[in-house]
Amino acid sequence: MRTPRLLAGGVTTALLLSACMGGTQDNGKDAAAGYDPQATVELTWWTGQTEDAEKVAESLAAEYHKLHPNVTIKTSPGAPTTDDLLTKLSAGFTGGSYPDISYAYGNWAGDLGASGKTQDLTSYVADPSFKWEEMPAAARTVATADGKVIGVPALVDNLALLYNKAIFDKAGVAYPTDDWTWDDFRAAAAKLTDPATNTYGTAYSVSGSEDTTWHLWPLLWQNGGQILDGTKPAFNSDAGVKALDTLRAMAVDDKSMYLDQTDEKYHPLFNSGRIGMIISGPWALLEIKEAKLSCGVANMPGVNGDHQTVSGPDLWVLFNHDDVNRAGASRDFIKWLTSAEIDAKWNLAVGNLPLRTSEKDSPEFAAYVKEYPGGQKFFDNLANAKQARPTVPGYEVLSRNVGDAIASVLQGKSSAKDALDAAAKKSADAVEN
Amino acid sequence: MAVTFAASSRAFAQPARRRRSARRNLTGWAFAGPATALVAGLSLFPAVWAFFISRAKWNGIAPATQVGWANYQRLATDPDMLAAARHTLLLTALFVPASIFLGILLAVALNQKIRLIGFYRTCIFVPYVASAAATGILAGFVFNPQFGAANDVLRHLGIPAQQFLESPSQALYVICLIALWGEVGFTTVIYLAALQDIPRDLVEAARMDGAGKWRVFRHITLPELRPVTVFTAVWQTITAMQLFDLIYTTTRGGPLNSTQTVVYYIYELAFQTQRLGYGAAAAYLLFAVTFLLTLLVIWYGRRRGSEVF
């Protein structure tokens, strides 16, 4: 009597649990087919923002409600930090309470797309009125997971070369130009390095996180390499080894590269005049302005005239709740939010690059460039972001392995070839599905 | 009448007794129920669920695929797992004996009749009360290679400045040192209590027989402390093997993964790279190893005739 009951209980539990681990399957129907724009709906919006940006988001949601009184938008950051959003979302999927719209890092797109809970926006954004083509190509690629558009870019950025003019003047080195090669970069870094004053030519994060990894990708692409070949890691090609050796020469041979064990020290050190050049994005401009640093921005150094960079776009991901009116309303809200007119009040107002090329003539953009002189260069540099990080499930694992490989090579613990081969081998079964 | 009554009473007796016992049962469960539900809901259910997750490949978002024991098989050949296990073993091997030895030493010192003894005892115990997160952040300042107090001290002693937590070869030892600072208060208090439990007549008898201070300590005090030592060994082993918050607040497993312990690796697998199935398998392995180690120590303790558990 007792044993069968226990067994039955166990089987029920097992079934229940495996049901919890499952996802919903896409039924191929458009989530917003037959949507009534006048229906009263309540949307949940996780902005992933804090403090000032969150306040701007809330005021925009209120503005939208005024224009469309039938749409109420419950706005919240969603999680204490943007990084925590993914954990919140995965818990939400299991518990069945996830938002209609959530902020998401671009490298989560593969995992989120595989959840089966996202809307397929492919035909929606293809409508000419959406002006999808105005957004940078790299950002559009990141919003596409497994051939489906699952979201709309929320923020675009890219990496460029930032340099401290005072350190260059003091060392008598000419400022970087847009045509610099990596050899020019290395030579300048060596000249700027001065152990007596604790000054380094450049810096690199060796924490092994995505910050470590994605700085390598432009170098890999410039050398003609690829991150993945289909679903197979391909970054350990000759191009990858050459890319990593370029960095190794500065870190190990020249000792002109400050190696940051966290991701958090090299920006403050650059701002306080200890580092001559860093490769970073537009988010660095605010603190540079606050530090009153005389700073220039140039293209990434290149290989054979190829100066392509990497973009780390973030997304508004739209989720499906099997309610056509909610799906339709969330699409219309995001279309409004990312339109040229409203985006200027959102991204430019909080110090980010504009999402759309058509915003470059707006008064908001003129004000942005005036406040952040490097902003124009970063905006122009969007055109150099030609390739995107792959949106496949398992990219996070791959990124971690490559980050560890870079960290060990730059600290002289292994050769570029060995480290990248080991990382590729470890990543192989994480990426394939 | 009486007969009828007796008959009907007999007929009623059965259900009434059953009802009474049911009510008694119910009362019992009303007392035990909330706690049982809490334990079942917050400990047993997640543990069972984690076991099912450990047999799947799941990132928490996309549907899971059942992989059987593949996660466990992979653990055995995962170089990162082996490195993490090595770090955990080294940390445990350093931390447990050191905390027991220091605990006894400090307890003996604090068992003297001197002035302000209460103050000294408090001082030793305060780091244990402070959260490991606070300890970690504080230690981060002390061991900062550029501006930290530790390097200042070394400079005065004429020793070159060290990288401490930023050096792959030193970081684990520094972590161990910080953990000791935080945890030694606990063993000290335990041993202090044990010392005061030693029967006075035993010590006096030994004195009468002409034993010196050292011989009293060696032949009376130490044997009397053995049951407590079994307890502290088990406790501190579990503490060392589950050390997480300190690593999270100081090195985050770095530099070059040199402080990545098994628990931190599990965190990284499950919550940083979303490999929930593989992480759950690693967690189950750690549970099995901790459990076996604990059984071993208890068995050893029982064989030596001291039952503490």
Answer yes or no: is A405 within a domain: yes
- Rounded to an integer, what is the distance from CA B159 to the centroid of its chain? 35
C-beta of residue A109 within 8 angstroms of C-beta of residue A145: yes
Whether residue A12 has pLDDT greater than 70 = no
- The alpha carbon torsion through A310, A312, A316, A319 (nearest 10 deg) reads 90
Rounded CA-CA distance A172/B167 in Å is 34
Please indicate if any CB of chain A lies within 8 Å of the CB of B169: no
Rounded CA-CA distance B137/B30 in Å is 45
B64 → closest Cβ in A22, A207, A430: A22
Domain check: are A61 and A121 in the same one? yes
Residue A21 has a pLDDT of 61
**Which residues lie across from A104 on neighbouring strands?**
A315
Tokens 């398998």 label which residue?
A: B281
**Which residues lie across from A151 on neighbouring strands?**
A317
Rounded CA-CA distance B126/B128 in Å is 5
Whether residue A290 has pLDDT greater than 80 = yes
Tokens 């445990």 label which residue?
A: B92
Domain check: are A203 and A80 in the same one? no
Residue A27 has a pLDDT of 58
CATH of the domain at A373: 3.40.190.10
Whether residue B160 has pLDDT greater than 60 = yes
B44 sits in which H/E element:
none
- Contacting residues of B for A432, CB less than 8 Å apart: none
C-beta of residue B71 within 8 angstroms of C-beta of residue B277: yes
Whether residue A430 has pLDDT greater than 90 = no
Residue B305 has a pLDDT of 66
Domain check: are A252 and A106 in the same one? no
Q: What's the average model confidence in pLDDT over A374-400?
A: 89
Q: What's the average model confidence in pLDDT over B187-198?
A: 93
Domain check: are A109 and A218 in the same one? no
| Number of neighbouring beta carbons within 10 Å of residue B188 | 24
Average pLDDT, chain A: 89
Interface test with B, best of A81, A90, A414 (most B CBs within 10 A): A90
Rounded CA-CA distance B234/B229 in Å is 8
Domain check: are A182 and A224 in the same one? yes
| Number of neighbouring beta carbons within 10 Å of residue A108 | 25
| Number of neighbouring beta carbons within 10 Å of residue B93 | 13
Q: What ipTM was assigned to the predicted interfaces of this complex?
A: 0.75
User: Looking at chain B, which residue has its C-alpha nearest residue A209?
Assistant: B272
Whether residue A102 has pLDDT greater than 50 = yes
C-beta of residue A142 within 8 angstroms of C-beta of residue A109: yes
> 3-class SS at A38?
coil
Worst-scoring range by mean pLDDT, A17-31, A76-90, A203-217, A278-292? A17-31
Confidence of residue A2 (pLDDT cuts 50, 70, 90): very low
User: If 0-12 CB within 10 Å is exposed, 13-18 middle and 19+ buried, where does residue A94 land?
Assistant: middle
Residue A223 has a pLDDT of 96
Please indicate if any CB of chain A lies within 8 Å of the CB of B52: yes
Whether residue A198 has pLDDT greater than 80 = yes
- Contacting residues of A for B66, CB less than 8 Å apart: 18
C-beta of residue A329 within 8 angstroms of C-beta of residue A337: no
A396 → closest Cβ in B58, B66, B274: B274
Q: What's the average model confidence in pLDDT over A14-39?
A: 66
Confidence of residue A219 (pLDDT cuts 50, 70, 90): very high
Domain check: are A127 and A217 in the same one? no
Please indicate if any CB of chain B lies within 8 Å of the CB of A116: yes
Cα end-to-end distance, chain A, whole Å: 43
Backbone angles phi, psi at A222, to 5 degrees: -60, -30
Rounded CA-CA distance B79/B257 in Å is 12
- Contacting residues of B for A430, CB less than 8 Å apart: 275
C-beta of residue B308 within 8 angstroms of C-beta of residue B194: no
Q: What's the average model confidence in pLDDT over A27-43?
A: 84
Domain check: are A227 and A301 in the same one? yes
Please indicate if any CB of chain B lies within 8 Å of the CB of A93: yes
Report DSSP letters for B77-90, one per residue. Answer: H-HHHHHHHHHHHH
Residue B294 has a pLDDT of 82
Please indicate if any CB of chain B lies within 8 Å of the CB of A23: yes
Answer yes or no: is A19 within a domain: no
| Number of neighbouring beta carbons within 10 Å of residue B12 | 10
Q: What's the average model confidence in pLDDT over B208-223?
A: 90
Token digits of residue B275: 């490999």
Q: What is the pLDDT of residues A170-180, one digit of tens each?
A: 999 999 999 99
In Å, how far is A278's CA from the nearest CA of chain B? 21
Answer yes or no: is A258 within a domain: yes
Residue A379 has a pLDDT of 93
Answer yes or no: is A256 within a domain: yes
Inspect the interface and report whether the beta carbons of A90 and B268 lie closer than 8 Å: no
Inspect the interface and report whether the beta carbons of B273 and A89 lie closer than 8 Å: no
B61 → closest Cβ in A13, A114, A208: A114
Say if strands A232-233 and A160-164 run parallel, antiparallel, or are unpaired.
unpaired
C-beta of residue B54 within 8 angstroms of C-beta of residue B281: yes
Rounded CA-CA distance B67/B109 in Å is 56
Token digits of residue B13: 């007796």
Instruction: Give me the percent of chain A exceeding a pLDDT of 70.
Output: 93
Rounded CA-CA distance A346/A344 in Å is 5
Whether residue A8 has pLDDT greater than 80 = no
Task: State the span(s) of chain B assigned CATH 1.10.3720.10.
Answer: 70-303
Residue B256 has a pLDDT of 85
Q: What's the average model confidence in pLDDT over B143-171?
A: 86
C-beta of residue A377 within 8 angstroms of C-beta of residue A280: no
In Å, how far is A400's CA from the nearest CA of chain B? 8
User: Looking at chain A, which residue has its C-alpha nearest residue B80?
Assistant: A426
Confidence of residue B270 (pLDDT cuts 50, 70, 90): confident
C-beta of residue A356 within 8 angstroms of C-beta of residue A134: yes
- The alpha carbon torsion through A275, A280, A282, A284 (nearest 10 deg) reads -40
C-beta of residue A410 within 8 angstroms of C-beta of residue A258: no
Worst-scoring range by mean pLDDT, A186-190, B140-144, B299-303? B299-303
Interface test with A, best of B45, B61, B74 (most A CBs within 10 A): B61
Give A384's contacts (C-beta < 8 A, 6+ positions apart): A158, A299, A300, A307, A308, A309
DSSP character at residue B221: I
C-beta of residue A45 within 8 angstroms of C-beta of residue A72: no
Rounded CA-CA distance A216/B135 in Å is 35
Instruction: Give me the percent of chain B exceeding a pLDDT of 90.
Output: 35
| Number of neighbouring beta carbons within 10 Å of residue B112 | 8
User: Looking at chain B, which residue has its C-alpha nearest residue A113?
Assistant: B62
C-beta of residue A155 within 8 angstroms of C-beta of residue A350: no
C-beta of residue A93 within 8 angstroms of C-beta of residue A112: no
C-beta of residue B174 within 8 angstroms of C-beta of residue B181: no
Whether residue A29 has pLDDT greater than 60 = yes
Answer yes or no: is A74 within a domain: yes
Q: What is the pLDDT of residues A323-380, one digit of tens each?
A: 999 999 999 999 999 999 999 989 988 889 999 999 988 899 999 999 998 899 999 9
- The domain in which residue A424 lies consists of 160-310+394-431
Q: What's the average model confidence in pLDDT over A61-71?
A: 95
C-beta of residue B180 within 8 angstroms of C-beta of residue B99: yes
Residue B13 has a pLDDT of 54
Rounded CA-CA distance B212/B201 in Å is 15
Inspect the interface and report whether the beta carbons of B273 and A400 lie closer than 8 Å: yes
Higher local confidence (pLDDT), B7 or B129: B129
In Å, how far is A41's CA from the nearest CA of chain B? 26
A411 → closest Cβ in B59, B256, B268: B256
- Contacting residues of A for B70, CB less than 8 Å apart: none
C-beta of residue A204 within 8 angstroms of C-beta of residue A247: yes
R_g of chain B computed on alpha carbons: 27
Residue B6 has a pLDDT of 44
Residue B161 has a pLDDT of 84
DSSP character at residue B147: T
Domain count, chain A: 2
Report DSSP letters for A355-421, one per residue. Answer: SSGGGGGSHHHHHHHHHSTTHHHHHHHGGG--B-----TTHHHHHHHHHHHHHHHHTTSS-HHHHHH
Confidence of residue B124 (pLDDT cuts 50, 70, 90): confident
A13 → closest Cβ in B48, B62, B254: B48
Answer yes or no: is A2 within a domain: no
Number of helices and strands (H, E) in chain A?
19, 14
- Contacting residues of A for B64, CB less than 8 Å apart: 18, 21-22
Rounded CA-CA distance A221/A233 in Å is 14
A397 → closest Cβ in B166, B252, B273: B273
CATH fourth-level superfamily of B70-303? MetI-like (1.10.3720.10)
Rounded CA-CA distance A289/A278 in Å is 16
Rounded CA-CA distance B46/B42 in Å is 6
Average pLDDT, chain B: 87
In Å, how far is B63's CA from the nearest CA of chain A? 4
Give B191's contacts (C-beta < 8 A, 6+ positions apart): B103, B104, B106, B107, B108, B225, B228, B232
Q: What is the pLDDT of residues B32-49, one digit of tens each?
A: 989 999 988 898 999 999
Rounded CA-CA distance A28/A429 in Å is 29
Amino acid letter at A371? E
Confidence of residue B7 (pLDDT cuts 50, 70, 90): very low
Give B300's contacts (C-beta < 8 A, 6+ positions apart): B230
Please indicate if any CB of chain A lies within 8 Å of the CB of B77: no
Rounded CA-CA distance B251/A389 in Å is 28
Q: What is the pLDDT of residues A227-286, one digit of tens each?
A: 999 889 999 999 999 999 999 999 999 999 999 887 888 999 999 999 999 999 998 998
R_g of chain A computed on alpha carbons: 23
Domain check: are A318 and A261 in the same one? no
Confidence of residue A47 (pLDDT cuts 50, 70, 90): very high
Confidence of residue B14 (pLDDT cuts 50, 70, 90): low
Rounded CA-CA distance B280/A391 in Å is 25
Interface A–B counts its CB contacts (< 8 A) at 84
Answer yes or no: is A357 within a domain: yes
Answer yes or no: is A4 within a domain: no
